[in-house]
Amino acid sequence: MNRRVSIPAPTEIPIALPDAELEGAITLPSTPQGIIVFAHGSGSSRHSPRNQYVAQVLQEAGLGTLLMDLLTREEELIDQRTRHLRFDIDLLSRRLTGVIDWMTRNATTQHIPIGLFGASTGAAAALRTAAARPQLVQAVVSRGGRPDLAGVEALRAVEAPTLLIVGGADTQVIPLNTFALEQMRAPSELAIVPGATHLFEEPGTLAAAAGLARDWFLRHVGDEVLRPPTEVEEFPA
């Protein structure tokens, strides 16, 4: 049975990386089973109603969430014109991996098990990060994602249990997810939500996807993880 918890207000935080300072919003219950980091897809943001909805479903189940933008505000403006940074999987993966490393240096998050939730191109970044940080990432969920863009080498290197959620009417993306699933050696499943298109806008489809993600994370995130000692930082006030 999923446990209901009171949900605190999100805290806006800057995430300082070597090549950028990103903006994020973290929500943590008093005793989180884990924290799920969101990597949004092309043309979206941490303010996306779809991401916000999924995050709330996870929070109600006792999971913390970190929603952030992998591009800076300046880069977002450039991408709105060129639409190329959202498909720069190398950049997105490097940023997301940097966020995971940043979390291990903060007293607030360093002992909380981590899961990754990726949508669209963010799914490829999540899988590459899982491959790069196998001791830190405990589970991955992709919703309407492009896991194929992670590349075969990364897909085969992922150790975290991975759930690929695709809409039943998203006919172009289903075979791409099937291909990615065939490359993976980690425990992985493909879940198809009947009637859903790419953005899961049909009644009940986003709720179904969020429920699948919640159950996957509750099943696979929460065991003790051995992490190397790191220098601890506090969140800025």
Residue 231 confidence (pLDDT): 43
Identify the H or E element spanning 207.
helix 205-220
Residue 42 confidence (pLDDT): 58
Superfamily of domain 11-220: Alpha/Beta hydrolase fold, catalytic domain (3.40.50.1820)
Residue 235 confidence (pLDDT): 41
Sign of CA dihedral 102, 153, 46, 194: negative
208/54 Cα distance (integer angstroms): 10
Residue 234 confidence (pLDDT): 44
Residue 212 confidence (pLDDT): 98
Residue 23 confidence (pLDDT): 87
Residue 8 confidence (pLDDT): 84
Q: In what order do the strands lie in the sheet with 188-193?
A: 11-17, 20-27, 64-68, 35-39, 114-119, 137-143, 162-167, 188-193
Cβ distance 40 to 197 under 8 Å? no
The candidate with the shortest Cα–Cα distance to 145, out of 109, 186, 113, 188, is: 188
Residue 227 confidence (pLDDT): 39
Question: CB neighbours of 101 closer than 8 A, spacing ≥ 6?
Answer: 133
223/218 Cα distance (integer angstroms): 10
Rounded average pLDDT per 10-residue block, the chain, 237 residues: 67 91 92 93 69 95 94 72 73 95 93 95 96 98 96 98 98 97 98 96 97 98 52 41
Q: Where are the domains of the chain?
A: 11-220
Antiparallel, parallel or unpaired: β 114-119 and 64-68? unpaired
157/185 Cα distance (integer angstroms): 8
Per residue in 167-206, pLDDT (tens digit) is: 999 999 999 999 999 999 999 999 999 999 999 999 999 9
Question: CB neighbours of 169 closer than 8 A, spacing ≥ 6?
Answer: 195, 196, 197, 202
Identify the H or E element spanning 231.
none
Residue 86 confidence (pLDDT): 66
Cβ distance 67 to 24 under 8 Å? yes
124/118 Cα distance (integer angstroms): 7
